[in-house]
């Protein structure tokens, strides 16, 4: 085995192994469909209930129904 596979410097001293440091996760803003669909498009009510939820990669898609007029809408959020 050569000296390079052992992790030895040219002068014969062992090399220090580097430890991987994870990068801190940055906060992401929820732009897009979530920002412009906070209220019902028919009655402008903010009251709604979630009828179904889908996790798609880094996004969470929530299917909502308005509590006043039963209109359907979709909100999209980025997972933390």
What are the pLDDT digits (tens) for 24-57?
Answer: 776 665 555 455 567 888 898 888 899 999 998 8
* Number of structural domains in the chain: 1
End-to-end CA distance of the chain: 46
pTM score, whole prediction: 0.52
pLDDT at site 28: 61
Average pLDDT over residues 48-69: 90
Structural domain contains residue 58: yes
pLDDT at site 13: 74
Work out the burial of residue 36: count CB atoms within 10 Å of its CB; fewer than 13 is exposed, 13-18 middle, 19 or more buried. exposed
Structural domain contains residue 7: no
Structural domain contains residue 16: no
pLDDT at site 53: 92
Rounded CA-CA distance 73/28 in Å is 23
Rounded CA-CA distance 14/75 in Å is 56
Domain that holds residue 66: 45-80
């Amino acid at each position: 085995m050569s000296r390079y596979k052992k992790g030895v410097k040219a002068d014969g001293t062992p090399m220090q192994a580097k430890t991987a440091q994870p990068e801190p996760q940055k906060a992401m803003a929820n732009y897009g469909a979530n920002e412009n669909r906070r209220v019902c498009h028919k009655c402008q009510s903010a009251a709604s209930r979630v009828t179904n939820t889908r996790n798609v990669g880094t996004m969470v898609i929530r299917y909502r129904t308005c509590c006043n007029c039963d209109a359907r809408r979709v909100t999209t959020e980025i997972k933390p």
